[in-house]
Structure 1
């Protein structure tokens, strides 16, 4: 497959989980990839794997909570590869605490990584796409918790709800530049953010309509589709990848 040949994509949080699986799917389609992650060792390892399969890829260490670092990432990408076709604003963290124990530092840490980083990625990528005259695509990672509450996730809920609205607002304002902005809202995904406790993963998976955990490659397939020309009429939307969770769940089990 060569659908994405000649296109250059940045994936934040690209060294593991959904980001890594998205990189693998876009690689098969011929894309050039920038694996942006705070874990530079894991990013370099993935790049080595991709290059062994004749994929053009580069690793870049970034703290997405810092706007100047995100801008530098985008500038570096264009300097190295000549263009920017899309960015997947995927990096994120979780920090579960009851609301009355959620001190300002805990609140701001998640907001900075899960919300502000998406703004930085959208803003600096869009500015560069407009400068280059590229009809690009921006994909953001929201969450089922962007539209419903969960105990212990006040900061995460707030951040992901903001991502949903930033996706809508960004799509509206960037449409005149032929830049699409879309998002995915994953359910409970088998990624490092859930930890290594299988009993917890099994419980969370049981909350889905078909009672099983979702694998990161299932979300990556949707992200890769959203970057494709086949999704060219999808804009401003947040696509649930939740095995029906939002369709029937009235409270967290």
Structure 2
């Protein structure tokens, strides 16, 4: 029997954006399977995504895509299957784990404005930029930290605080900020409710919050939390997410699998 209170809580996130099933599966495995040997059973995975509105056919298509693209691997267990992150999947998940779960990103990191000479093509310029960089125009960018650039590039420390509105719009577009606000409101509403009593219901709330946060934070420039004030919507959403992930803590995976397998 489904928990109607949980259904109501899930509905609070209806305006947070569409759920791509393959991405939701990565959120689930990335959060619950912390070690290479960790897995989630097929029955448990099916139950979790079903509570978030995903049917069996959509899940099968997503799993096929993830296997094809090397994200997951499958092991048969009698008539069922167990799902693991592949080595590639583990590598990809770990590479962004800090961005997703970090509650207090560092602020005191030097920012530089870099300008390439006119002889450098836009493609070559983009290829020289570190991951933390953000293009401002064809041959002008901002980046954080230390990196080695060609000697003919102009590199200037950025001291403007606050940054101009047009830079804010590039590193944190208004549409993205609006989505952070919607997510923050949904989380705040759910946090005002009683904590679910079952491991399954707490896990489902954890996963839907984490999935929408992951979807947004991986679209956000790495520079936003360094350059923008503590009250910008992304930073405020991060604080709400941190509270939520503490409240709906990561479950014991063996216990969760056993609980969900017993339901089917």
- TM-score, normalised by the number of residues in structure 2: 0.30
- TM-score, normalised by the number of residues in structure 1: 0.31
Return the structure number with greater relative CO, CA threshold 8 A, min gap 6: 2
